[in-house]
Amino acid sequence: MEILMKRKLLAVISLAALAMACSPPAAPVAAAPEVAPPPAPVALVIPSGEYSVDPNHASLRFDILHLGLAEYNARLTKFDAKLKVDAANPTASSLSFTADAASVRTDYAGNYQATHKGAPYKTWDEALAKQFLGLEKQPKITFTSTSFTQDGGNKGTLIGDLAIGGVSKPVTFEVELSGQVAEHPFTKAPAVGFEAEGKIKRSDYGIATDGFLNGALGDEIEIEFNGEFYGPPPPPAAAAPAAQ
């Protein structure tokens, strides 16, 4: 009896060993992916000081969905901006911006009055300036930054108050440093360039919230700025002392 029991036990052990040998190998445990640290913020090579926008190398535009079909875009052609740079502590830098609402341009060649019977506006640009950008309530569109953070690499986040048509709301812009030089090849002054993108809601500013336009336009407005800023020119070199 004891011999029979031992034979049965050996048979069970043999079957178990055979089953283990025929089983597929266990899948290796995947190692946790390595997470690369975020890139360090770009160091500034320009000095601290106040920088002014170069109107010949800057653009300000906005896009809005029209009739659910395509993005309608326009630009503002007259604006001024001041960038105060703190090279030792870039997060302490600030930006102020002013644009003329009357300078909106669409470059649309159509006849506005022919397609908008009875409208009090002569052109698309006039309609946008007065009906869309609140020209008669506040001729200037302004932005004043309240904070700036560096997100790593050449990117950052700029937050400030944007006023359109007498309504001011906080807005966030994603900023990317596109270039900087300690000495511009033409002006010899320090220079920096960046682009900023942000979004606002038309309804937050009371823009075209009545009548046909309210249904014809999307609520989200995308804003994009690209520009170069120049710092103060370097002081003139001291004249060499006259020979004795």
Instruction: pLDDT tens for the chain, 244 residues: list them.
Output: 555 455 554 454 554 444 455 555 556 666 667 777 778 888 899 999 999 999 999 999 999 998 899 998 999 999 999 999 999 999 999 999 999 999 999 988 788 888 888 888 888 899 889 888 888 899 999 999 999 999 999 999 999 999 999 999 999 999 999 999 999 998 899 999 999 999 999 999 988 777 666 778 899 999 999 999 999 877 666 555 666 6
Q: Side-chain half-sphere of 101: how many Cα atoms within 13 Å?
A: 22
Token pair, residue 14, equals 């043999």
Which one, of 71, 78, 143, lies nearest residue 105 by Cα? 78
Q: Are strands 70-76 and 49-66 parallel, antiparallel or unpaired?
A: antiparallel
Q: What pLDDT does 12 receive?
A: 46
In one-letter notation, the amino acid at residue 238 is A
Residue the block writes with tokens 């946790």: 32
H or E element, residue 166: none
Token pair, residue 237, equals 């070199």
How many whole angstroms separate alpha carbon 221 and alpha carbon 172? 13
